[in-house]
Chain A
């Protein structure tokens, strides 16, 4: 199992450009998430999905869009990039544990908007 994979690892964008961050998981998890992590701010939930075709907003969805056409893939779209979107982006998927559940994280995408 590759687990959760993310591409690209790094990207520099100019203000106003758009891009898609790719995320894929091979564990057949229904739940998938996108977070951003800023220094000293912890992980903030951007969007999540409970299954193919079903997505919903998290805490900080403005400036982002998602789609979920398959169980495996959950891409995050940035439209009109702004410097405030400079961050590290993590994709995660989750499965139920006895007495809880575990989120598996990808390696992250470091995005800089200049």
Chain B
């Protein structure tokens, strides 16, 4: 079993839709949870991060962590064509700075 599981997609939605992206994980020691966005032929860039369980909102983006279920989500409201990218979840136990990445979900938002 992989430490972090993520559906590769692609996930196709029309502009304006609410998007839900998800990851599950098996390592209960993970404390920090991050979402990276990667445009085609570019390096990943940090979108949001959260510590432990709960929600965090930033504009149209909401990150949610449920440690009891080992499940994290990223919600995108009012999705735009410019949101079309691959979204990777990443997790960290704390201590030494080594992230474990999901495989990424490719999102396509059509006008």
Q: Which residues of A contact B (CB under 8 A)?
A: 4, 31, 40-43, 45, 48, 50, 58, 90, 92, 94, 97, 99-108
Contacts and interface: CB of A to CB of B under 8 A. Distances in A.
Residues of B in contact with A, size category: 20 to 34
Interface string B55-96: 000000000000000000000000000000000100010001
Contacts of B44: 43, 90, 103, 105
A94 B96 CA distance: 11
A50 to B, nearest CB: 8
| Chain A, interface SS category | strand
26 contacts: A31-B97, A40-B103, A42-B101, A43-B44, A45-B98, A50-B96, A58-B98, A90-B43, A92-B43, A97-B49, A99-B49, A100-B32, A100-B34, A100-B92, A101-B32, A101-B92, A101-B97, A102-B46, A102-B49, A103-B44, A103-B46, A104-B45, A105-B43, A105-B45, A106-B43, A108-B43
A97 B43 CA distance: 20
A4 B50 CA distance: 24
Interface of B: 4, 6, 8, 32, 34, 41-46, 49-51, 88, 92, 96-99, 101-104
A97 B99 CA distance: 14
Given A90-B44, A107-B43, A108-B42, A99 B101 contact: no
A80 to B, nearest CB: 27
A92 B98 CA distance: 11
Contacts of A94: 97
A100 B49 contact: yes
Contacts of A92: 43
B43 A42 contact: no
CB-based closest 8 A-B pairs: A105-B43, A42-B103, A99-B51, A43-B101, A100-B32, A100-B49, A42-B101, A102-B46
